[in-house]
Amino acid sequence: MGRVQGKVAIVTGGASGLGRADGAALAREGARVVLTDIDENAGRDAAAAIGSGVTFMKHDVTSEEDWSRVIADTMDQHGQLDVLVNNAGIVIVATPEDTTLDQFRRANAVMSEGVFLGCRAAIPEMRKSGGGSIINMSSVASHLGYPVFFAYSAAKGAVRAMTKSIAVHCQMVGDKIRCNSIHAGAIDTPMVAKATEAMGIQPNDVVPESVGLGKAEDVANLVLYLASDESSFVNGAELVIDNAISIQ
């Protein structure tokens, strides 16, 4: 217990799936957690279910104004910001030929622009707080070819690249701010279930039987490590968590 005691964390996309699991893990280990999500009802339910030390803020990660408000309100309430988990995401099932421009722009607005806006807004406040850890949720889709998740893969590739630039930037200007990306695959979440349903298959059908599906808590444990001081020398890294599916 207490691995992130005294830290303040913002977790986007916190109403369900990975974000909710991340928030629960951080709160369990002593962090004060701000869950954010565009789904206000589900977000409030998630915060209440996790319990003490967790609050909810409605948040559209594509909105510059929303990011300013969420960061400012977090600083007003807690006086510091130590951890940002850029987790919010969507998935659109469409190949390069089928993807519309609106779909492509929407996916990148949430997962590429949203990460950019979050990092840009968080860095100055983390600097004032003495440093921090930015954790960007990318995907093994940034390493592999997934034609049916074309827009999603493009956005996650951008997250992978931005993470490295942010890590180096913070280091060069003397900030004690680390930035790492998580590349999960084959995780059983509502988003995966929705995507496979759209494809007319079951979640287990997308992975070999020997691999199986991971749990949201598996990823949350990695988030917890990156948020804690245990990972103080881990910076600019891309951490794959997929039970070896990406190397088969």
> Quick one: which of 59, 58, 66, 238 has its CA closest to 135?
238
Ranges of residues in the chain whose predicted pLDDT is under 50: none
Tell me what pLDDT residue 204 has: 80
162: alpha, beta or left? (left if phi > 0; alpha if psi -120 to 50): alpha
Spell out the residues 6+ positions from residue 8 whose beta carbon is closer than 8 angstroms to its own: 31, 32, 33, 34, 74, 78, 79, 80, 81, 82, 83, 129
Tell me what pLDDT residue 191 has: 86
Distance CA 140, CA 35 (A): 25
Q: Where are the domains of the chain?
A: 8-247
Q: CA torsion, points 10, 12, 15, 21, in degrees to nearest 10? A: -70
Count Cβ atoms below 10 Å from residue 124 Cβ, excluding itself. Answer: 12
- Mark whether 152 is an active-site residue: yes
Tell me what pLDDT residue 21 has: 98
Distance CA 104, CA 208 (A): 29
Spell out the residues 6+ positions from residue 181 whose beta carbon is closer than 8 angstroms to its own: 135, 136, 137, 138, 159, 160, 163, 237, 238, 239
Class (C level, CATH) for 8-247: alpha beta
Count Cβ atoms below 10 Å from residue 208 Cβ, excluding itself. Answer: 12
Contact of 6 with 69, CB cutoff 8 Å: no
Distance CA 62, CA 18 (A): 19
Tell me what pLDDT residue 230 has: 98
Q: Locate tokens 């369900």: which residue? A: 16
Contact of 83 with 10, CB cutoff 8 Å: yes
Tell me what pLDDT residue 2 has: 96
Contact of 16 with 192, CB cutoff 8 Å: no
Full 3-state SS string of 36-55: EECCHHHHHHHHHHHCCCEE
Catalytic residue among 152, 158, 187, 226: 152
Residue 66 β-bridge partners: none
- Give the predicted TM-score (pTM) of the model: 0.97
Contact of 129 with 81, CB cutoff 8 Å: yes
